[in-house]
Amino acid sequence: MSAMSLSNNNNNNNNNPSSSTTSSFESRTVKLAVLAREQGEGMGARVRRSIGRPELRTLDPFLMLDEFRVALPAGFPDHPHRGFETVSYIHPDSEGIFTHEDFKGNKGNIGPGDLQWMTAGRGIVHSEVPLDRKVCRGLQLWINLKSSDKMCEPRYQEFLAKDIATAENDGISVRIIAGEAFGVTAPTQTKTPTTFYHFKIPANKKLEQKIDSSFNSFAYIFSGEGYFGKEKTHCKSFFTIAFNRDGKDGLYVETKDSPVEFVLISGKPLGEEVAWHGPFVMNKREELMEAFQDYQMGRNGFEGASRWRSQNGRRCGR
């Protein structure tokens, strides 16, 4: 508990070194650094899988992180989800736009810098398809839900680029997708406690970022290169860096000649059994079978699922 209150009171560490609450900063160490190569997914889409690749199957509570680059006719047409949250974040420099539709009639566009935080809960069937032939680039993160949240009512939180919390400190900029950085807190509500930061660090800078000492944490590099963790491990574009918990509540990153752009994602581990098949993530095998049956029969949250066809899905595969 003391570590938590310390991290909350101590977020101005960087710009106020003389603050009386400042503790000596200790960074986590690097557990694993691994390159995310491109692979095929969905309908003709290309993704770099970060969490979820063979060397890094899961990092509790995170199930998957994909960096996607997708343009029509590729996409992710009609498919279900149950038992977790999907976070879709379009890169601010993306040329293209994503469109989404679900079986309850929700639909919209997610453009450059926009965020959709979808809690699938007991069931969502939807279609995620680029608007046109411009390449849409971004991240999709899958966050597991605890047993008692898996069958919750589905929920969307959507934030336009202009409404995403941002902060800057000594030339380092951060877009705060969830959680708190540089004293600024995002409005995003997360069922599973999660923080998600998009940092840009210019050359020759140092960053000390607080992370709750109980959270698992990793970084994924969009571009550039930097030196991560206590041992200052050199990493570049498309690397995922998983950190040890080490009982530490901070992460150190520095740059030399080059800037670096990355996301830092951390979450409270659930410590529960995982029974996972494709779009359904439950605790027990029997619950997975129920999920398949519910989806097929259109019940327990999947009402109407089998009759529904998206409009935007028709643009896919042609």
Binding mask 128-167 for ligand FJE (x = CB under 6 A): x-----------x---------------------------
- Is residue 78 part of the contact set for ligand FJE (CB under 6 A)? no
Closest to ligand FJE by CB, 48 vs 200, is: 48
Kindly state whether residue 282 participates in binding ligand FJE, applying the rule CB under 6 A. no
Window of 39-47, 147-155, 230-238, 246-254 that interacts with ligand FJE by CB under 6 A: 39-47
Residue 84 lies near ligand FJE (rule: CB under 6 A): no
Q: In this chain, which of 171, 247, 278, 304 binds ligand FJE, going by CB under 6 A?
A: 278
Instruction: Tell me how far, at minimum, the Cβ of 117 lies from ligand FJE, in Å.
Output: 13
68 binds ligand FJE (CB under 6 A): yes
Q: Which is nearer to ligand FJE, 76 or 218 (CB)?
A: 76
Question: For residue 196, what are its two tokens?
Answer: 């998600």
When asked if residue 42 is in the footprint of ligand FJE (CB under 6 A), the reply is: yes
Output the smallest distance, CB 216 to ligand FJE, in A: 20
Dihedral angle at the C-alpha atoms of 91, 121, 45, 58, nearest 10 degrees?
Answer: 80
Q: Tell whether residue 47 is a contact of ligand FJE (CB under 6 A).
A: yes
Tell whether residue 76 is a contact of ligand FJE (CB under 6 A).
yes
Choose which of 79, 107, 146, 245 interacts with ligand FJE (CB under 6 A).
Answer: 79
Stretch that binds ligand FJE, among 40-48, 167-175, 241-249, 304-312 (CB under 6 A): 40-48
Residue 276 is a binding residue for ligand FJE (CB under 6 A): no
**What is the binding site for ligand FJE (CB under 6 A)?**
41-42, 47, 66, 68, 76, 79, 88, 128, 140, 278-279
